[in-house]
A and B are shown apart, each in its own frame.
Chain A
């Protein structure tokens, strides 16, 4: 079940790749981007740099970006905590990369694919859900749907395009 635009989202606290607990809520954040992603999916990889650029571009404007890997690492070793840590160490993430080992957060949020992008407003309500932009293969789109949503949220106006279809690899649930 996916979350409704305007609804409060389920809270979570998940470990980052150093094991430090990281919570969703941050009273200081003007907006929060949550991306369910992973290491092995070509869609997640294709959009990855665009998403990191957005995270860096909007950080100074109070936007927090949390990226979460919920895939079953037993069946997909490329999504293991060690592989996550290696990517973080290599500087591939512009923010915390969290591990949803129990998959409870992904289930509660209704995440279906990687990447699956959510934008929350300052009050923690869902303002955007969908894909970063219209085409994983077109770098020049620059995660435009996500950027437009953030501009609307930061201007405290309704997001014009609040929902798009997430496209990517299915979240790898435990058998």
Chain B
């Protein structure tokens, strides 16, 4: 099972909402056993090392389910997401999270 990580910067208040959305998606997809690893990014250096472009950032098996545009600078900031209705949001659209988890979690694990 690929690891699910939630990278966050404490200067942005959005990661609890993102974690709740992530856990809800895992529950809905039949994977309540998957633990989300919280990874705090506290310095610009850590942000650069982890390609962290803003808080929160989800990684499933190392893959960002909502890939940012190429060349997005890393840094300690709140990440801007777009909802499916076009609106801005500090967290990924829950439907995008569900779709990404379906795509990125192994089929065998999903059917277990």
**Cβ of B23 under 8 Å from chain A:** no
CB pair A136–B90 under 8 Å, yes or no, is yes
A136: chain B residues at CB < 8 Å are: 89-90
B79: chain A residues at CB < 8 Å are: 42
Residue in B closest to A42 when the chains form the complex, CB atoms:
B90
Residue in A closest to B90 when the chains form the complex, CB atoms:
A42
A121 to B87, CA, bound (A): 32
Pick from B11, B83, B89, B90: contact of A170, CB below 8 A: B11
Contacts A167-B13, A170-B11: A76 and B90 contacting too (C-beta < 8 A)? no
List B residues 57-76 near A (Cβ within 8 Å): none
**Cβ of A45 under 8 Å from chain B:** yes
A136 to B83, CA, bound (A): 12
Residue in B closest to A75 when the chains form the complex, CB atoms:
B75
CB pair A169–B78 under 8 Å, yes or no, is yes
Pick from B12, B81, B87, B88: contact of A169, CB below 8 A: B12
Pick from A40, A42, A45: contact of B14, CB below 8 A: A42
A2 to B62, CA, bound (A): 42
CB pair A43–B78 under 8 Å, yes or no, is yes
What is the count of residue pairs linking A and B with beta-carbon distances less than 8 angstroms? 40
Against B, the Cβ 8 Å flags (1 = close, 0 = not) of A106-143 are 00000000000000000000000000000011010000
CB distance from B52 to the nearest CB of A (A): 15
A76 to B80, CA, bound (A): 14
**Cβ of A73 under 8 Å from chain B:** no
Q: How large is the interface on A (under 10, 10 to 19, 20 to 34, 35 or more residues)?
A: 10 to 19
Say whether chain B's binding surface is mostly helix, strand, loop, or mixed.
loop
A46 to B93, CA, bound (A): 13
Residue in B closest to A49 when the chains form the complex, CB atoms:
B87
CB distance from A153 to the nearest CB of B (A): 28
CB pair A43–B77 under 8 Å, yes or no, is no
Pick from B12, B78, B80, B89: contact of A137, CB below 8 A: B89
CB distance from A24 to the nearest CB of B (A): 28
| Chain B CB within 10 Å, residue with most, of A42, A139, A168, A170 | A42
Contacts A40-B80, A41-B78, A169-B78: A46 and B13 contacting too (C-beta < 8 A)? no
| Chain A CB within 10 Å, residue with most, of B13, B14, B80 | B80
CB distance from A52 to the nearest CB of B (A): 13
CB distance from B91 to the nearest CB of A (A): 8
Pick from A42, A139, A170: contact of B80, CB below 8 A: A42
B11: chain A residues at CB < 8 Å are: 169-170
Given A43-B90, A169-B90, 6 more contacts at CB 8 Å? A42-B14, A42-B90, A43-B14, A43-B78, A46-B90, A137-B87
Nearest 4 pairs of A and B residues by beta carbon: A45-B88, A42-B90, A42-B80, A169-B78
